[in-house]
């Protein structure tokens, strides 16, 4: 396996199969196909939405483990299936990017037809699990799947510089899924969680795109730094982070300490954003902003759960 001859496999969509392929287990290949990192990060926001819905409706966590299972497991399956489809669809350009060139769909370890079958199977199972919670949860999950597979992967990613913003719709859906599993009426706080995730994604992914700008350019993906340059990207990042500064006003039901924490996290990100206009090393600044964005999301959503326990 480690010395496969380089060739263009017709079934692999014309993408070259690499020589010197790293030895990996079937399980590791599966995790790469479903983009387990994305699955894990989305579970944080899904659980937070579910937990807060239980808290504000006065329902017991242990008394509703069935809803917890259906919401979390269903989310895992639909996200994993959607990510697998993304791997299937992008196999013709993934070999051009350093961070994606070793995916099983690129190296030829897994046939595209099997990946496509796996994708739809995972999505079907996931939607079925969400439907066991309630119909609203399944509908929201289906909207998230369509947004990621159709609106982002198939329509906008390779055509429009707004692809990141369009893709943010699907990334903001998980907390709604978690909340709807408990309360299909979707309280204003549920939409606040959606807004946080929607506004968070552009500055997060623009920073990543700056780091990987030459890879996106080689793959002809019209990410903002590729099309508009770093200066315009910095302005956009700061504008999106500025929008997040208003989020604490939507979190008042969670108490003053959480509101203060959200405000401080937003201000910190904003200050770092402004430094991008004075730092000489754009890529170093992009790395700092990317890491901060991860900490922002993780700390804020975990804190939302913690404050309900105090």
Answer whether residue 1 is part of any domain.
no
- Which residue stretches of 134-173 are H helix? 135-146, 163-171
Q: Looking at residue 26, what is its pLDDT?
A: 83
253, 309: one domain: yes
Q: Looking at residue 98, what is its pLDDT?
A: 80
Answer whether residue 121 is part of any domain.
yes
Answer whether residue 282 is part of any domain.
yes
Return mean pLDDT, the chain: 91
Q: Looking at residue 202, what is its pLDDT?
A: 97
Mark which of 132, 164, 186 sits at the end of a domain. Answer: 186
Whether 83 has a pLDDT exceeding 80, the answer reads yes
Mark which of 133, 165, 186 sits at the end of a domain. Answer: 186
Answer whether residue 181 is part of any domain.
yes
Answer whether residue 2 is part of any domain.
no
**Domain at 108, CATH number:** 1.10.357.140
Q: What's the CA angle centered on 48, arms 45 and 54, to 5 degrees?
A: 145
Q: CA 243 from chain center: how many Å?
A: 19
pLDDT in tens, 48-70: 999 999 999 999 999 999 999 99
List the domain range (segments joined by +) for residue 46: 7-186
15, 113: one domain: yes
182, 193: one domain: no
DSSP-assigned letter for residue 154: I
Q: Looking at residue 3, what is its pLDDT?
A: 32
Answer whether residue 224 is part of any domain.
yes
Average pLDDT score over residue span 7-31: 58
129, 276: one domain: no
Answer whether residue 75 is part of any domain.
yes
177, 263: one domain: no
Answer whether residue 253 is part of any domain.
yes
95, 235: one domain: no
pLDDT in tens, 134-190: 999 999 999 999 999 999 999 999 999 999 999 999 999 999 999 999 999 999 999
Q: Between helices 282-307 and 256-275, what is the axis angle to 10°?
A: 180
Q: Looking at residue 12, what is its pLDDT?
A: 45
22, 169: one domain: yes
35, 103: one domain: yes
Overall domain count for the chain: 2
85, 171: one domain: yes
179, 196: one domain: no
Q: Looking at residue 107, what is its pLDDT?
A: 83
Q: pLDDT grade, residue 23 (50/70/90)? A: low
Mark which of 143, 170, 186 sits at the end of a domain. Answer: 186
| Residue, of 50 and 22, whose pLDDT is higher | 50
Measured distance CA(95)–CA(98) in Å, rounded: 7
Q: Looking at residue 28, what is its pLDDT?
A: 87
108, 215: one domain: no
Owner of token pair 């992914």: 205
Measured distance CA(296)–CA(149) in Å, rounded: 27
Q: Looking at residue 22, what is its pLDDT?
A: 61
pLDDT in tens, 193-222: 999 999 999 999 999 999 999 999 999 999
Q: Looking at residue 193, what is its pLDDT?
A: 97
196, 176: one domain: no
């Amino acid at each position: 396996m480690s010395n496969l001859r380089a060739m263009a496999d017709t079934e692999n969509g014309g993408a070259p199969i690499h020589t010197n392929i790293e030895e990996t287990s079937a399980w590791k290949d599966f995790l790469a196909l479903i983009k387990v990192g994305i699955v894990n990060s989305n579970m944080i926001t899904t659980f937070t939405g579910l937990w807060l819905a239980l808290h504000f409706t006065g329902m017991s966590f242990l008394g509703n483990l069935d809803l917890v299972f259906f919401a979390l497991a269903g989310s895992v399956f639909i996200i994993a299936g959607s990510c697998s489809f993304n791997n299937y669809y992008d196999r013709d350009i993934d070999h051009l990017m350093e961070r994606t060139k070793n995916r099983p769909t690129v190296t030829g370890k897994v046939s595209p037809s099997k990946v496509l079958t796996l994708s739809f199977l995972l999505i079907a199972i996931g939607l079925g699990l969400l439907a066991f919670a309630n119909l609203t949860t399944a509908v929201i999950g289906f909207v998230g799947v369509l947004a990621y597979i159709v609106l982002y992967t198939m329509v906008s990613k390779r055509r429009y510089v707004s692809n990141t913003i369009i893709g943010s719709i699907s990334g903001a859906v998980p907390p709604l899924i978690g909340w709807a599993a408990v309360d299909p009426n979707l309280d204003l706080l549920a939409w606040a969680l959606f807004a946080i995730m929607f506004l968070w994604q552009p500055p997060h992914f623009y920073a990543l795109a700056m780091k990987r700008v030459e890879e996106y350019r080689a793959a002809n993906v019209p990410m903002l730094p590729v099309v508009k340059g770093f200066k315009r990207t910095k302005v956009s990042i700061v504008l999106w982070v500025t929008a997040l500064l208003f989020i604490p006003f939507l979190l008042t039901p969670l108490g003053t300490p959480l509101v203060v924490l959200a405000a401080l996290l937003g201000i910190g990100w904003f200050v770092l954003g402004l430094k991008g206009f004075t730092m000489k090393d754009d890529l170093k600044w992009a790395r700092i902003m990317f890491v901060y964005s991860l900490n922002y999301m993780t700390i804020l959503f975990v804190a939302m759960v913690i404050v309900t326990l105090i």
